[in-house]
Structure 1
Amino acid sequence: MPGSVIGAEQSLDLTRFVRPGDSIVWGQACGEPQTLTERLVAQRHQIGPVRCFVGIPARSILQPESVDGLSLSSYCGTGSNAALHQAGLLEIAPVHYSRIPDLLTSGPARADVVFVQVSAADETGRHSMSLTDDYLSAVIDSAAVVIVEINDRAPVVAGARTLGPGEWTAAVRSSREPAQMESAHASDVVHAVARNVASLIEDGATLQFGIGAVPEAVLRELHGRRDLGIHSGVLNEAAMELMESGAATGARKSLDRGIAVAGFVTGTRRLFDFVDRNPAVNVRSTGYTHDSAILSAQHALAAINSAIEVDVFGAVNAEVAAGKYVGAVGGAMDFLRGAAASRGGLPIVALPSSARGRSRIVAALGGPVSTPRADAAIIVTENGIADLRGLSLERRVEEMLRLADPVHRGELAAAAEPILRGEHQLTRGTVR
């Protein structure tokens, strides 16, 4: 029955709602509806073959030995997704984050079923999307089957979307701690990178930040600033600390003044308690968080993203390391372009200059081009800052060599020189 709630004492039978050949989507990271995903894995053979689109995993319920019958795809190789991809059990779709809602609501990747974790009902009888909205809102509106997990331990988070009984096919009640994600460890080098990035951020800037050690370390360097704003794909514990310190008030934001906006929340119980019924935090859809007009309208948007490697001309690989897919195209391009269009904006890509004895500033990328050199940003390492915007190829090489680890500069310069010669030949050629 549409809108029915399956009591906690009843066994959830997904075969009533999911058919062989269906495509399923569920909330990522801390927004994963764990009761539903566990039941899907347990009943996969009774249901029959289905397709699953998975986001960032906060836990490793999908293991090689438990995904037979499930055809898996994702936009990222983060966390346990990397091992599944290496085993040939997960396909990666290299897609800009802003396009994910369209992909999941039309065409061959259209979702038939969506699993959503929601909070307990508020005083109006409606349920918040809790820790994750991002691409779920679009799928809720288009999927044939919507199954919600009403988790009374999931925080009530303000946002544009709430759900009521008439908007789901079925629901199951649970009372369990949402999946948690700890902050990334930051090395001394990462802290040095973060200090250089922080030197660029002025009072009143609006911050976007990616996932990982570098963006988190940057946020922890900004407690001395005032009236910072937050408009990001993710809200993490470093951002919470920035708000608690009084540095991030959102007082100068052009839009959503006084409110931190994100697509999903990722952290531990401390963060869940912070966002619960907090009017200063909103979880919104990808159609809002990654919208180019919204981003460009933000006051002094500083987009802080990391990378696996950057070449001497400013092209970025954020997907593949040592032949393994561990990252994503993600929202970097959406935010970097938004920051470039924002008045006083800063499109920033930050990374340590080397890792495990190998330079991360390279003559030629060892993986795909996630962000092209035409969208050249402000590149930051522990060795300095290089604003590549508007620079010639020659000047870019000079600046990037300065950012590289001194141990690798000579070798890198020698490798870059013939590439630069080839670029000269290309630019002098005649297009027929």
Structure 2
Amino acid sequence: MPFDIQYQQKRLSAADAIRVVMNGDTIVVPTAVGEPPTLLAALSDARRDFRGVQVAQILPVRKYGYFDPETTEHVRHTAYFFSGISRAGGQEGWTDFIPAHFSELPELLRRGMIASDVVFSMASPMDAYGYFSLSLAADYTMAALNSARAVVLEVNPNVPFANGNCHIHISRIAALTESEEPLLEVGLPKIGPVQEAIGKYVADMIPDGATLQIGYGGIPDAVVMQLTGKHDLGVHTEMIGDGIMTLVEAGVITNRKKNYLPGKMLATFALGSKKLYQFLHRNPALEMHPVDFTNDPYLAGQNDNLHAINATMQVDFMGQCGSESLGFSPYSGTGGQTDFVRSANRSNGGKAFIVLPSTAKHDTISRIVPVLSSGTHVSTSKNDINYVVTEFGVAQLRGKTARQRCEALIAIAHPDFRGELRDAALRMKLL
């Protein structure tokens, strides 16, 4: 049957398309702007018609009606990683949470350890061969497609058709709906003097020809801003944002010196501006792939000089990083931090940077602490940590003794807290 006829047969209103969902189903939704707003709004409107449905996702970016503690018996959110939209539900107990490394979510889906009955996703318009591109987030969604009973797409002409392993054929689609609303845009985080200082320390340690993995946040973006004088950088990352695009336009990123897939930038989801999304469209230098490819420490670590830059909220004297909770209260999730710390540790010449301001709450709390706050979820372990960077300097911890680590971390803590940190270290017999 011709592809255009199949398309028309499967084209439905959003209200009708969501009826492929059955009671008890888990709906897998892509990361961030890969989520389909028209379908999820329709599901929210009809949520009381369902029972026991879960919507599983990393990083939701819109607050749909189903984020409602009063209707969780109908439709409930399950987080692979919390955002500002889903965080309150996690902290109050009406949103579920599945801890996992970002890189391992596809395998958990393939093994049936995480459910995937239905997939809802944004998609590009269909090409002449019957394929759609899930360009905004290939992540775990490509694995979920293979185990799902039904796939429902929201086709939007603003979604780019990207290269890479992010395509699905019309023959595999149960239903589709159309929308034309602009894609959600996310601006660059605010950067102040603390972020600039940290960014300079990291940028100074990145050599020409390095391959970059850059996380989201003010400090990673401050690093990007200070790389404009570098040459022949490459990209192997999980998220592509406007900062990376800016370095490509400036001629800083060429991918020529990459020894693993030279000439290609790799990412698994995009988050940024309309210009960024247009940058993805059929760009021969950029490929979007599933996260078990981009974040696999063995594969990513084949890049020489891989430099990974990720943020945390708290680091203790042993180097343990609490990046995803405030004590026992969830804040974000594991994501790909450990994936890329391990990737950079494997890389010949690689460096893994964990960055954080030295204080919180208007300089009243030190983020360098003797022990993590009670109940804190450890994201990067003491055995994986390498470089820790604050606005006061760099502590290189890998291969160091507990005493050496303690001394190095106190040296980059805020001066107002160094005395009490030393006292605590003495009591702990670390100094």
Task: Give the TM-score normalised by the residue count of structure 2.
Answer: 0.93
Correspondence 1:63 to 2:63: no
Q: How far is the alpha carbon of 1:116 from its aligned partner? A: 1.6
Aligned to 2:81, the other structure's residue is in SS state coil
Q: Is the 8 A contact 1:32 1:179 kept in 2?
A: no
Identify which of 220, 240, 252 aligns with 1:235.
240
Task: Name the SS for the 2:268 alignment partner.
Answer: strand
1:218 to 2:227 alignment: no
Do the aligned partners of residues 178 and 67 (structure 1) sit closer, same or farther apart at CA in structure 2, a change above 3 Å counting? Answer: farther
For the pair 1:360 / 2:367, whether they are aligned, the reply is yes
1:26-425 matches, within 5 Å, as: 26-61=29-64, 62-64=66-68, 67-68=71-72, 69-321=74-326, 324-356=329-361, 357-366=364-373, 367-420=376-429
Partner in structure 1 of residue 22 of structure 2: 19
Q: CA deviation at 1:104?
A: 2.7
Paired with 1:15 and 1:232, the residues of 2 have a C-alpha distance of 33
Q: Secondary structure at the residue paired with 2:408?
A: helix
Output the CA distance in 2 between the equivalents of 1:5 and 1:180: 30
Q: How many residues align?
A: 422
State the shift of 1:399 in Å.
Answer: 0.4
**Distance in 1, Cα, partners of 2:71 & 2:254:** 44
Quote the sequence identity (%). Answer: 33
- 1:256, distance to aligned residue in structure 2 (A): 2.3
1:297-353: CA deviations, max 9, x gaps? 112100111101111221111011265321211111111111011000001101111
Which secondary structure state, in structure 2, belongs to the residue aligned with residue 182 of structure 1?
coil
Q: For residues 359 and 317 of structure 1, what CA distance do their matches in structure 2 show?
A: 13
Q: Deviations over 1:164-215 (max 9, x none)?
A: 2112111112212122222211121011111111111001101011121111
1:8 shift after superposition: 6.8
Deviations 1:271-297, CA, capped at 9 Å, x for gaps: 112222221221110121011221111
* 1:428 counterpart residue number: none
The unaligned stretches of length 5 or more in structure 1 are 425-432
Matched to 2:126, the amino acid is A
**Residues of 2 paired with 1:368 and 1:416: CA distance?**
22
Moved more, 162-171 or 18-27: 162-171
Aligned-partner Cα distance in 2 for 1:43–1:14? 12
Give me the whole-angstrom Cα distance separating, in 1, the residues matched to 2:190 and 2:70. Answer: 30
Greater shift in the superposed pair: 99-108 or 176-185: 99-108
- Taking structure 1 as the reference length, the TM-score comes to 0.93
Instruction: Kindly report the root-mean-square deviation, in angstroms, between the aligned alpha carbons of the 2 structures.
Output: 2.0
Pair 35,416 (structure 1): closer, same or farther in 2 beyond 3 Å: same
Alpha-carbon distance in structure 1 between the residues aligned to 2:166 and 2:241: 20
> Moved runs in structure 1, 4+ residues, more than 6 A?
6-9
Superposition deviation, residue 67 in structure 1: 4.8
